[in-house]
């Protein structure tokens, strides 16, 4: 609840400035504030970070993703880099790719993982 409201023009400008410094939830590498260009606000839960991104890249598109996406899938898996989107290599699914040397070609050989 707000207990204070601006009464004169200068106070209104200060209030506006403070408001402008407050943003919605944004990607982790794009903290609120500063003079950074506005970026797409991709819904959280889809991905926490966008380097280069999972479903979308930092620009909200797909041009920045590895193509095809299977090229990148092991590097995302191996260090729990994307622990929600790809099985957890270090703790719960270390053998997920043990029968598949090339994810792009042999993705059918990847093990099934059930949460």
8 Å CB contact between 57 and 27: no
Q: CA torsion, points 76, 48, 85, 72, in degrees to nearest 10?
A: -30
To the nearest whole angstrom, how small is the minimum distance from the Cβ of residue 102 to another protein?
5
Residues from 37 through 96 that contact another protein (CB under 8 A): 52, 57-59, 61, 63-67, 71-72, 74-75, 78-79, 89-90, 94
Cβ proximity to another protein: between 14 and 79 the closer is 79
To the nearest whole angstrom, how small is the minimum distance from the Cβ of residue 80 to another protein?
10
What positions carry a catalytic annotation? 72
Residue 98 sits in the site that holds another protein (CB under 8 A): yes
Rounded Cα gap, residues 40 and 90, in angstroms: 32
Cβ proximity to another protein: between 36 and 104 the closer is 104
Which of 15, 11, 86, 100 is CA-nearest to residue 48?
A: 86
């Amino acid at each position: 609840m707000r207990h204070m409201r601006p009464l004169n023009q200068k106070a209104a400008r200060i209030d506006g400035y403070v408001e402008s410094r407050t943003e919605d939830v944004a990607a982790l590498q794009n903290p609120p504030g500063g003079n950074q260009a506005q970026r797409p606000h991709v819904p959280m839960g889809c991905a926490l970070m966008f380097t280069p991104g999972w479903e979308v890249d930092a620009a909200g598109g797909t041009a920045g993703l590895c193509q095809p996406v299977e090229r990148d899938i092991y590097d995302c898996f191996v260090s729990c880099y994307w622990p929600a989107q790809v099985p957890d290599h270090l703790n719960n699914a270390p053998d997920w790719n043990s029968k598949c040397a090339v994810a792009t070609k042999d993705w059918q050989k990847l093990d099934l993982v059930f949460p």
